[in-house]
Amino acid sequence: MSGGAAPPLTPLLPLPGGEAETPRLALRAEGVVKTHRHKGRGRLRVLDGIDLHVREREFLTLVGPSGCGKSTILNLLAGLAEPDSGSISAHGRGGTPPSLGLISQTDTLLPWRTIRKNVEIGLELRGVGTSERRETAERLMAQVGLAGFENSYPFELSGGMRKRAAVIRTLAYDPDIILMDEPFVGLDVQTRDALEEDILSLWQQHRKTIVLVTHDLAEAITLSDRVVLLTARPATIKAEYEIPLPRPRSVVETKFTEQFVHLHKTIWRDLSAEVLKASRSVPHGEA
């Protein structure tokens, strides 16, 4: 698929009588421009007119060269920053989504709370009762292989187990939209594969709208319904790719299919051209 305009929305939900409903949009960015202050270089333009839509219950992944602005887009969608121009809307309304979860690269578990208490924290802040919090936390922990570690503290768990806890902590308070900024960075291959399997399983069960940022193209293809490729900075959207791999998926087995190999080659060809541009470019900015 070539870049530029976003593809038309495709039917997602079957309706009585065999018709299909066009999915609604969970998030939209229109004409978004963002610059950052850069020491010694004045203002550095990072995003240059981003037009992005995210469908409800879609798993969408952003890929692009390092430093192109993927995390900046996530921060804008989360309401952690404001665009210089353009607009961000959620469910057709301006502003931050009312129900949103953010999973970052860093380990944000509270070290003085047990794993179960960490998972419960969002529910606790909402005033949910003790027994309901406990039941929700223990159910989710069992789903990702953390049963038996309810009373352990973060320092007693491996990096992969802490990441699992961080993911289900977000799911526990049931946000409509989840933003994930390279949540598996720094993990070994086996742990990463296992966590991706967890994410696929949890997404299949809960069908949240998810926007993921990753440098790992295989991860993007394996998890997503759609992959959006950003150009080198200042970023625009170069291309969007629908991922027609059937669900439910297996992280490992999917990578051996002809469809996966074809998608990987196609997207990598476009991505590698942008990586080369980024490596040769002089930073864009205004003095």
Tokens, residue 218 = 């295989």
Task: Kindly state whether residue 129 falls inside one of the protein's structural domains.
Answer: no
Phi-psi region of 31 (alpha: psi -120 to 50; beta: other; left: phi over 0): left
Question: Which pLDDT value is given to residue 277?
Answer: 87
At 164-223, the pLDDT tens digits run 999 999 989 889 999 999 988 888 888 889 889 989 988 988 899 999 999 999 999 999
Range of the domain at 255: 24-99+226-287
**Window from 9-13, 148-152, 198-202, 233-237 with minimum mean pLDDT:** 9-13
Tokens, residue 207 = 């069908």
| Mean pLDDT for the stretch of residues 24-39 | 89
Contacts of residue 152, Cβ cutoff 8 Å, sequence gap at least 6 = 114, 115
Looking at the chain, the whole-number percentage of residues with pLDDT higher than 70 is 87
- How many structural domains comprise the chain? 1
Looking at the chain, the whole-number percentage of residues with pLDDT higher than 90 is 64
At 104-160, the pLDDT tens digits run 888 789 999 999 999 999 999 989 999 999 999 999 999 899 999 999 999 999 988
Question: Which pLDDT value is given to residue 173?
Answer: 87
- Global pTM value: 0.86
* Whole-number average pLDDT of the chain: 87
In the predicted structure, residue 258 carries a pLDDT above the cut 50 = yes
Task: Kindly state whether residue 13 falls inside one of the protein's structural domains.
Answer: no
Task: Kindly state whether residue 235 falls inside one of the protein's structural domains.
Answer: yes
Task: Kindly state whether residue 237 falls inside one of the protein's structural domains.
Answer: yes
- CATH number of the domain residue 65 falls in: 3.40.50
